[in-house]
Amino acid sequence: MSIPLGLGRLYNARPSNIPPFCERIKSFLVDSNIFTVQIHPTSVFTFPPWDVQRISYINPFLMYDKSTTAPIVFQQIFLYHRHQYNTYIPIFTDGSKTANRVDCGVVVADVTSSFQLNALCSVLTAELTAIFLALERISDLLEHKFCVYSDSKSALEALSHPQNGTHPLALDILCLLQSFQARDFQILFCWLPGRY
């Protein structure tokens, strides 16, 4: 909807007459390329209240403060954790955001994939997208035991507490996990500190 031509001239001639908000925001929307964003549909009623899917995640680093613990200690804890769960295939996920890019990456069975997302996406969206893409990738594999590693506590918390206004991608992940459960998959989630 556009304002009539006569009003447009009035607003241009007299700066004290402020155009309506919809007119002022149009140039911002065009400049930010927001018209190309695809909205992800989701159903509020994905799970019945008595069967809400959720995950719990392992945090072997819980007792260690990143600022006061040497990197070698974190590496040894991780190696011990991998020894404990050596029957689970490791999957590594990550998401990142810079001033003008949003990306995510997945490593499954020594195959690395990276994806560029719309620059308007949040870091949480990038992290959840990485987890979702990793789970999609394993759905056709013969193995059924996986451990998904993420450095995003917010993504893991969104999956752990879906009742707290969950992100649409978190609901998609939980639906996928429910279908995996029916196919006897065993999928663990583990938090890793970033940048080690």
Could you report the per-residue pLDDT of 124-153, keeping only the tens digit for each? 999 999 999 999 999 888 999 999 999 999
On whether residue 51 sits in a domain, the answer given is no
On whether residue 17 sits in a domain, the answer given is yes
The phi, psi pair for 128, rounded to 5°, reads -65, -35
On whether residue 52 sits in a domain, the answer given is no
Same domain, 140 and 174: yes
Q: What is the pLDDT, as a whole number, of residue 38? A: 65
> Cα(76)–Cα(65) distance, rounded to whole angstroms?
15
Same domain, 10 and 90: no
Q: What is the pLDDT, as a whole number, of residue 72? A: 93
Q: What is the pLDDT of residues 49-81, one digit of tens each?
A: 667 677 889 999 999 988 898 999 999 999 999
On whether residue 77 sits in a domain, the answer given is yes
The proportion of the chain whose per-residue pLDDT surpasses 70, expressed as a percent, equals 86
**DSSP per-residue codes, 112-143:** EEEEEE-TT--HHHHHHHHHHHHHHHHTTSS-
Q: How confident is the model at residue 1 (pLDDT cuts 50, 70, 90)?
A: low
Q: What is the mean pLDDT of residues 105-112?
A: 93
- Residue ranges making up the domain that contains 29: 5-36
On whether residue 170 sits in a domain, the answer given is yes
> Cα(56)–Cα(1) distance, rounded to whole angstroms?
48
On whether residue 115 sits in a domain, the answer given is yes
Same domain, 29 and 103: no
On whether residue 126 sits in a domain, the answer given is yes
Tally the domains of the chain: 2
Same domain, 108 and 21: no
Same domain, 187 and 98: yes
On whether residue 93 sits in a domain, the answer given is yes
- Written as one letter, the residue type at 41 is P
Q: What is the pLDDT, as a whole number, of residue 40? A: 62
Same domain, 106 and 12: no
The two structure tokens encoding residue 178: 């429910």
Residue 93 has pLDDT above 60, yes or no: yes
Q: Tell me the Cα Rg of the chain.
A: 22
Residue 2 has pLDDT above 60, yes or no: yes
Same domain, 108 and 141: yes
Same domain, 165 and 117: yes
Same domain, 108 and 28: no
Q: What is the pLDDT, as a whole number, of residue 39? A: 63
